Every structure is written in structure tokens, then in C-alpha cells.
Structure 1
Amino acid sequence: MRFEKQVQIEAPRQEIWALLWDVPRVVRCIPGCDAAETIEPYQQYQATVQEKVGPFKIRIPLDIEVVTHEAPERLVANAKGRDGKLQSHLKIELDLTLVALAPQVTALNVRADVAVLGKLGTLGHSVIVRKGNEIVGQFATALQAELQPKEGC
């Protein structure tokens, strides 16, 4: 299934681009992501995400591969993982684009093709898309907060 969402972030495109590659900072912005590590910079990463989706609480270790990146405007990545407890598989093809709308305003366009198999897949399209859109919204809000100047710094 595919979902697409656009959110506006009050920050220059270059700052957002830099944040996307700063693993410790970006982890704080991803809902449910409690661990991530760089395997090979700009190419391979691993992350663990746990989230409640419908009646299920999932915990999925993800292998993430960057397919292409064109600084500072586009990032394409694939992620796949498995929740052994629920016998569910998740595969995500993610395409992020950053469009400068003004010097301090950037549109983050998210397109994700998601395949969900196993118990998690029984929830249906609408539940998974709703959760995906919720996660993207929370990510954008957290990204905006992460980019704000910290008082006392």
C-alpha cells in the first residue's frame, strides 16, 4: 500500500538535510525508535522500532539501505524487518524530498510504499495508513522541535 504526505517545516532545507544524516538526533524524532546505528555512513543503518498498531504492539528490528541521495533534496531508502513474536514482516520503500518554499520554510514530501505481512497485515489498509500518517505527523513535529534553537546554548 502507498501513502503520501506533505508537511511544512520552518527551517532551511540544508538544516533539515543535515539532521536527516545525524543518527542520534534523527532517532529522537522518529516515534517508537529506541535504537539505531550506522553500519556504513550514507548507505546502511539498523534501527529498532516499537509501536502500537491497532490491537498489536510490535517491535521490529529494521535493516535500512539508502538507495540514493541527492543533497539537499532527495533521499530514497528501503527498510525491512520482522517481528518474531507476531510473525509479521514489514517492508518499506521510502522516498523523501525537501522543497524550499522560502529561505526558512521547507516542504517535506513523504511517499512510502509499505508491505505488511502476517498478523499485522490482517489489520487492513485503513488502520495501517492512519498509523503511518500519524507517525509522519509526529516525526515532522519532532523534527521541527529538534531544529529550534535551544535556550541557554
Structure 2
Amino acid sequence: MRFEGTLDIAAPRDRVWSFLTDPTRVTTCAPDVQALEITDPHHFKVVVRAGVGPIRSTFAMNVEFLELERPQHAAVLARGQAPGSAVQMVSNMDLAEFDETHTMMEWSSDVTVSGMIQQVGARLMQGAAEKITQQLFACIKAKLEAPVTI
């Protein structure tokens, strides 16, 4: 499955970059994250509860930054397994600066699932993934557009 979109964020590009490439910060916006372990600057592990309909599982995900071109581009590979299911996701993000206070993020994710979770059907998975994506980006936008406290 492929997902893609754009997000206009009323924040400077450097601030957006710093947030989105910091696993500790960005995972605060990901629904159902249960644990995070940063293993080195390019790798981290995350445990997340995910699923579609009645089929839900806890996935142990290994995440790697494949490309980091500050402050405009990042690519991430995430692979995970749960009992009876597996998922792989390759995501790309490009940040364009409109001016000193606005950033446009273009993003895409290619997701492959297998096992029990795949059996629920592409339409259900697509809907669930879109809902999670909307929650994630709404949180990211809200946090980045909030007034900076010093």
C-alpha cells in the first residue's frame, strides 16, 4: 500500500526537521506507542500496538534512518513483527521552506504487511492507516505550531 500527502506547518524548517528526526519527540505523536529505545543516532526500536478491526497485535519495530539530508530530506525504514503478522514500511519526507515561518512537508510511505493482519483486506487497512496518519500529523502540526517557550 502506498500513502502520500503534504502538510503545511506554520513553523521554521529547522524546527520541523529537528522534531521529525528526533525519535523521542516524534513518537509522542504516534498513537499506541508503548516503548522506545534509541540504539544509536540512526537506529531505534519502538513497540506499538496496531491492527485493524478485531485483529490487533503488539509489534516490535526496528527503525533505521536510511537518509538524513539536513534540513530538507529524510528516509526511514521500519520493520516489525508480531505473533502471526509482519510489517515493513519505507517512508520519505521532504521539507520545503516557504519563508522563515512556514514549511511544506511532502511525505510518502510504502507499506507491506503479511500474516493475519493482511487477511482483513486492503480497504480496512487503508482506512485504519489513514486514521492513524491523520492523528499523527494533527499532533505534529499542533506541537510545532505551538508558541515556543524559553
TM-score (norm 1): 0.88
Q: Contact 2:23 / 2:44 at 8 angstroms: preserved in 1?
A: no
Match in the other structure for 2:16: 16
Aligned residue runs from structure 1 range 1-150, under 5 A: 1-41=1-41, 43-84=42-83, 87-147=84-144, 148-149=146-147
1:121 offset after TM fit, Å?
A: 0.5
Structure 2: which amino acid aligns with 1:71? Answer: R
| Aligned-partner Cα distance in 1 for 2:18–2:148 | 17
CA shift in 2, pair 1:39/1:17, >3 Å: same
The percent of aligned pairs where both chains have the same amino acid is: 27
Q: Contact 1:51 / 1:59 at 8 angstroms: preserved in 2?
A: yes
Q: Count how many residue pairs are aligned between Structure 1 and Structure 2.
A: 149
TM-score (norm 2): 0.89
Q: Can you give the 5+ residue segments of structure 2 that lack an aligned partner in the other structure?
A: none
Q: Can you give the 5+ residue segments of structure 1 that lack an aligned partner in the other structure?
A: none
| More displaced 10-residue stretch of structure 1: 56-65 or 131-140 | 131-140
* Backbone CA RMSD of aligned residues: 1.7
